[in-house]
Amino acid sequence: MSIRLKLLLSYAAMLIIPLILILLITSLLLVSLRGNLTSVKGAYESTENMFDHDVVEHVAKGIWRSVQRDPELWLDRPYLDEMTTELQKNDAGLVIRQNNTLFYQSAIFDQAIDLASILPPYKSPGSITHDILRKSGNVDYEIMQFDSRNQTQQSTLFIVLKINPIVYFIHRYFMVMFFGLLVILIGTHVLLTTYMSKNIIKPLQALRGAAREIKEGRLDFSLGVARKDEIGQLSTAFEEMRFRLQESLEVQKQYEINRKELIASISHDLRTPLTAIRGYVDGIIEGVADTPEKSRKYMQTIAMKADELDHLINELFLYSKLDLNRLPFQFETVHLWPFFHDWTEELMFELEKKGILLRTEINIAPSICVTMDRDHFRRVLNNIIQNSERYMDKTAPIIQIAANEVDDSVVIELTDNGSGIEPKALQHIFERFYRVDESRNANTGGSGLGLAISKQIMEGHGGSIDARSQLFEGTTIILSIPIVQGSRSE
């Protein structure tokens, strides 16, 4: 349920619930006072018949004083009719009882009403009793009783008022109803406010606390999300933001560690040829190379070390460009079979000089084309071959190259029978700056960027690079590059 709907329902409930409770209480009161709800309409049709207690009491006392002064008025029907007319203006009537017999009653009373049953008994001479409540059928009455006695009979004057139960109840219990209504309204608001606070304010406070934690740089917490409304969606987005921010900081920390490792590695690799160059230069300056042969040997060594420096710098520069996506690829459509034929012929000549046997198995149609940057793709292949040469430890070194069509790609496998790679290291060989051999000796040393550069180049070609290896038996690097659509049918 959305927050907007919750608010609408809560505000409606704050109005409707008190009204329903008031109507319910009123209905219960009507039923208890009148027996049913049939007279509700009549009770509100007019307010002219609402009794005025003070007026009725004033008339009643006037009648009592008159009959006390002139007892004959007890039997004077014209006088009694006149008083009845005065009382009827306030929905009241007059009843006179003598010796338990009703001598006179106002015409306002229905003959079907058994007045004798609701009139209280005689009390004592001269007694006056107010506010005696009686009920006959569905009608309520309030009775004022005036008792008198002479030598022969007991006489009682009754002033009987028809009571509107609603008006009477409100007249008597108005303050109780008013404060009860206040309690209901306040209770409803408190309950709804508590509910809305729990469902809206507290989650927002939790979000504010989480934002404060992030501001302070503390991201190792979790924001519990168990809602499906807008706040739940906001909490989910916030939690995802926190998680991604934490990941980015961890990646940044790893980058910083890698950067430091790179600086240390490059510094070591650069220092080694520089130290050699400085030593040979000092030898020439100090006259150690005192023959033309020694001078030539020293100069050749200096040139070789300078080439090593140039290679390291070029690797670092290339990797930086690839990492920043600032190296443009010169893509072209290339027939892969002729490309492999030319490259493997050159490679075979180079490997023969090093005593390495090259085997090839190119199972692709001459018409197969791929989109590639020739120079960069060659760099990938050469990086892999150089790694194979670097870690060769067999007396009969072999490198095998196989190319096959698999679905819509060409899969190239370059396999050697070198020292292999440990399983725990195999999953990291394409990471930046990772080196299987951390000793950086003259035979296996390197910048640690070759395979990372190869991975970026293959991804730039829309392909992939993977590896499998068996320790002490050899390693296979697997390249995959998409085939140009339609080239199979050429």
pLDDT-derived band at 46, boundaries 50, 70, 90: very low
- Stretch (H or E) spanning 220: none
Our CA angle for 449, 454, 455, nearest 5°, is 100
Q: What percent of the chain has pLDDT over 70?
A: 80
Average pLDDT over residues 322-340: 83
Longest dimension (CA), the chain: 173
Q: What is the C-alpha to C-alpha distance for residues 43 and 37, in angstroms, rounded to an integer?
A: 10
Tell whether the model's pLDDT for residue 430 goes beyond 50: yes
**Is the pLDDT reported for residue 41 higher than 60?**
no
From residue 3, alpha-carbon distances to 194, 238, 266 in Å are 15, 18, 58
Q: What is the pLDDT of residue 44?
A: 43
Over 90: is that where the pLDDT of 476 sits?
A: yes
Q: Which residues, in sequence order, are CB contacts of 99 under 8 Å at separation 6+?
A: 153, 154
Domain 231-322 class in CATH: mainly alpha
Per-residue pLDDT tens over the stretch 255-272: 787 677 767 767 776 777
Three state DSSP letters for 361-427: EEECCCCCEEEECHHHHHHHHHHHHHHHHHCCCCCCCEEEEEEEEECCEEEEEEEECCCCCCHHHHC
Supply the mean pLDDT for the chain: 79
Place of tokens 């608010």: 7
What is the per-residue pLDDT for 358?
94
CA distances from 216 to 209, 211, 221, 223, 264 (A): 11, 9, 12, 16, 32
The mean-pLDDT minimum among 126-140, 181-195, 306-320, 400-414 falls in 126-140
Is the whole model's pTM more than 0.85, yes or no? no
Residues 2-29 have pLDDT tens digits of 666 676 677 677 767 777 777 777 777 6
Provide, rounded to the nearest whole percent, the portion of the chain with pLDDT above 90: 18
Does the pLDDT value for residue 59 go beyond 60? yes
- Tell me, which fold does domain 328-482 have in CATH? Heat Shock Protein 90 (3.30.565)
Res 442: pLDDT: 45
- Find out whether 469 and 476 touch, Cβ atoms under 8 Å: yes
pLDDT of residue 109: 74
| CATH node for 42-163 | 3.30.450
Residue 447's pLDDT is 57
Per-domain residue ranges of the chain: 3-34+170-206, 42-163, 231-322, 328-482
Query: What average pLDDT does the segment 208-230 reach?
Result: 78
pLDDT at residue number 51: 41
Nearest C-alpha neighbor of 433 from the set 247, 249, 253, 255: 255
